[in-house]
Structure 1
């Protein structure tokens, strides 16, 4: 088993929109794991490249045999519930020897919800009660 991570974001026409996602990719790629450093690709649904299929192809080319797709969406709307499973099916058909796993949208994790609340409080100039 050689793991890889495929981050999946919506995409936008403004290239600056992708900066936080590119930073996320870079930070994740540098984190040591039980498997050493794991290859991480960032892919987009629209407007930006690479798309999910190309990002998956890159991880397979890097030798990954088990890839977790992590939607960088605040919630699981239509893109996560409808578009993404179809794209996952295309990846599975294209690379049947690879185990493709779809993680929940990051915005649905308690970790991110708490981080959003902390950030909102900081931006509002509020500090937590000691």
Structure 2
């Protein structure tokens, strides 16, 4: 049975924000080797989650890992996404789905934040290290 990964983002009116999830999907596909990796959005952009699930099924998936590309487990992750799964189950009996955990608090996210702060400080021509030494 084929397993798919469906990355689910919030969706934005800003195209670059939505395009970023497609770039992440390419990374996930390369890293996992998973043949079916699709992208969907909760609101403001298409495809919506139901269409994302349908795309996975159309490509032969019998199981789908629904991954919420959200920082924390808010209302979308705790309420809306399980409701989306329930709707898909009614439409696609026998389809197995599991909801992943959102990004949350993780040391790698801390590293990324520090890297981005470092880039911002460097672009501004500032130095953080000298402030630590001075205090």
| TM-score normalised according to structure 2 size | 0.81
1:118 aligns with 2:115: no
Task: Tell me the SS of whatever aligns to 2:61.
Answer: coil
Q: C-alpha offsets along residues 31-82 of structure 1, whole Å, 9 cap, x if unaligned?
A: 354xxx3201100000100001000001101110011100000000011111
Q: C-alpha offsets along residues 90-118 of structure 1, whole Å, 9 cap, x if unaligned?
A: 1111111210111111x22x6xx222211
Structure 2 Cα separation of the partners of residues 93 and 13 of structure 1? 30
How many residue pairs end up in the alignment?
120
Q: Which runs of 5+ in 2 are unaligned?
A: 119-127, 130-135
| TM-score normalised according to structure 1 size | 0.84
Task: Tell me the SS of whatever aligns to 1:11.
Answer: coil
Greater share of helix? 2
1:32-47 residue pairs with structure 2 within 5 A? 32-33=32-33, 37-47=34-44
1:50-129 residue pairs with structure 2 within 5 A? 50-105=47-102, 107-108=103-104, 113-125=106-118
Instruction: Provide runs of 4+ in structure 1 moved above 6 Å.
Output: none
**Whose Rg is larger?**
2
Q: Which runs of 5+ in 1 are unaligned?
A: none
